[in-house]
């Protein structure tokens, strides 16, 4: 009797989950399959063009040092943005989870999720207005300081990092907040009653228990930032040439979809390789 009930429960669970899993498979594997197909073509298979299967697109990456240089540049950008987001986001998440209560927490939560309510292009162009030479930031600094300061961060790597951190910071705040909320306050109080200092509690208790949330937020930030192209193109100008902008150019400007697909798959392989190399450390942190 119990076996039949368990089998019925499994069938019901499968029936409820199957639409979501089927949609995820269609939304993920179908586009990836199409990209994989295009990456092995000599030209796009429509518009009456002649095409054939080839490895020239992948060979172009190996024979052109610029692609590898831009890929490494994008990886460094992802690491910088991820590190800054974690350094800024974790203290914010700790304040939300363990310090403030009631209406104050609701107001701070509203500020955290506010970027999600606006279009990404609106956020990027807002930073362009703030960071340009005679923008809001430069005018404010000139008004405060007694000497003339010509502050112009626009079209620089700093502007790109600022825009990306602003866009992806809520991810690490929310994931860290959920992990910190799961920590029982009595554990912290017990550590304090035993004479542990704040640094010791943070290093030996809070950080290990909150590590899954921090790592989840870091992964959610690193993966899209490595392939980002809007922030580098708008905020970086001529200095905003990264691997993601090159891929966008292949699809939009050059109309070389096969090369763009091959470069995209190489980026996917590199990101998966980095996550695989970091997986032992991730597993130790989450145990």
Out of 3.30.200.20, 3.40.190.10, 1.10.10.10, 1.10.3720.10, select the CATH number for domain 63-286. Answer: 1.10.3720.10
Distance of CA 191 to the CA centre of its chain: 34
Yes or no: say if 93 and 173 are a contact pair by the CB < 8 Å rule. yes
Q: pLDDT tens digits, residue range 10-60?
A: 778 788 888 888 887 888 888 888 889 999 998 888 777 888 999 999 999
**pLDDT computed for residue 29 by the predictor:** 83
Yes or no: say if 218 and 172 are a contact pair by the CB < 8 Å rule. yes
Selection from 79, 77, 121 nearest residue 234 by Cα: 121
Can you give the pTM of this predicted structure? 0.86
Strand partners, 186: none
Residues in the chain with pLDDT values less than 50: 1
């Amino acid at each position: 009797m119990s076996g039949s009930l368990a089998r019925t429960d499994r069938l019901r669970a499968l029936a409820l989950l199957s639409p979501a899993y089927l949609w995820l498979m269609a939304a993920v594997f179908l586009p990836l399959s199409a990209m994989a197909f295009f990456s092995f073509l000599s030209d796009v298979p429509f518009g009456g063009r002649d095409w054939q299967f080839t490895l020239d697109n992948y060979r172009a990456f190996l024979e052109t040092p610029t692609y590898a240089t831009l890929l490494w540049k994008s990886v460094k950008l992802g690491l910088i943005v991820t590190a800054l987001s974690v350094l800024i986001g974790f203290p914010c998440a700790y304040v939300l989870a363990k310090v403030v209560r009631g209406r104050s927490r609701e107001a701070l939560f509203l500020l955290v999720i506010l970027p999600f309510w606006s279009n990404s292009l609106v956020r990027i162009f807002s930073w362009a207005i703030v960071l340009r030479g005679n923008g809001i930031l430069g005018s404010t600094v000139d008004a405060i300081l007694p000497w003339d300061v010509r502050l112009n961060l626009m079209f620089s790597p700093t502007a790109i990092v600022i825009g990306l951190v602003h866009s992806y910071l809520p991810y690490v705040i929310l994931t860290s907040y959920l992990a910190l909320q799961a920590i029982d306050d009595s554990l912290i109080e017990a550590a304090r009653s035993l004479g542990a200092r704040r640094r010791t509690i943070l290093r030996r208790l809070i950080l290990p228990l909150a590590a899954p949330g921090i790592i989840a937020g870091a992964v959610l930030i690193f993966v899209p930032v490595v392939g980002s192209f809007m922030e580098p193109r708008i905020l970086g100008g001529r200095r905003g040439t990264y691997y993601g902008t090159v891929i966008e150019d292949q699809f939009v400007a050059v109309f070389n979809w096969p090369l763009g697909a091959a470069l995209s798959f190489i980026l996917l392989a590199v990101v998966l390789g980095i996550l695989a190399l970091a997986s032992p450390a991730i597993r130790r942190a989450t145990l």
